[in-house]
Amino acid sequence: MTSTIIGVSGNLDRPSKTRALVQTAVATAASRFEALGAVFDLADFGPSLGTARRAADLAPPARSALDVILSADALVVASPVYKGSYTGLFKHLFDLIDPEALRDKPVLLAATGGGDRHALVIEHQLRPLFGFFEARTLQTGVYASERDFVSGQPASSALTDRLERAVGQLSPYFTRRTQPEVFVLSA
């Protein structure tokens, strides 16, 4: 069975730097782990997202998108920084999810912003959110500012290096050992 890596961009606009970052991360991970990848942004959920009080209230296409996200083997989630945090509609999407649904799911956290002053949004906003779900957030978060993009695409070497490091941390979730490890204790 083929593994899936699904990206969620907390942005309504297309194109967006947040979506470009998520697409790059998903494509890199899908290629490295021979997995299928897809990216959703908030626009994919349509107007029913804003009015839904629970997942069952979503329109059928939005519910299907949510089901794909929940069935993924790993997630890449990112939000543009808005007033020092993730966007409200991004948070609302995750409010619709059962707290058990993301338990033990590996999640690569990312964010985009105009400058470096919002880089800690990953540690202070996103990591606690996914900690609530008991997801397995990767150690390395990926923050990108305006200067990390060229023509709307991730381009800086610092960003590329950090993204590669974060994607590499998905390895234990996709690489299976063919031989059991043997430890020899010496006296």
Give the pLDDT score at 125. Answer: 95
Identify the band that residue 160 occupies on the pLDDT scale cut at 50, 70 and 90. very high
pLDDT tens for each residue of 55-70: 999 999 999 999 999 9
Domain ranges of the chain: 4-174
The better pLDDT of the pair 182, 104 is held by: 104
Please tell me the CATH code under which domain 4-174 is placed: 3.40.50.360
* Position 181 pLDDT exceeds 80: no
CA distance 86 to 81: 5
pLDDT bracket for residue 177 (50, 70, 90): very low
pLDDT grade for 186, boundaries at 50, 70 and 90: low
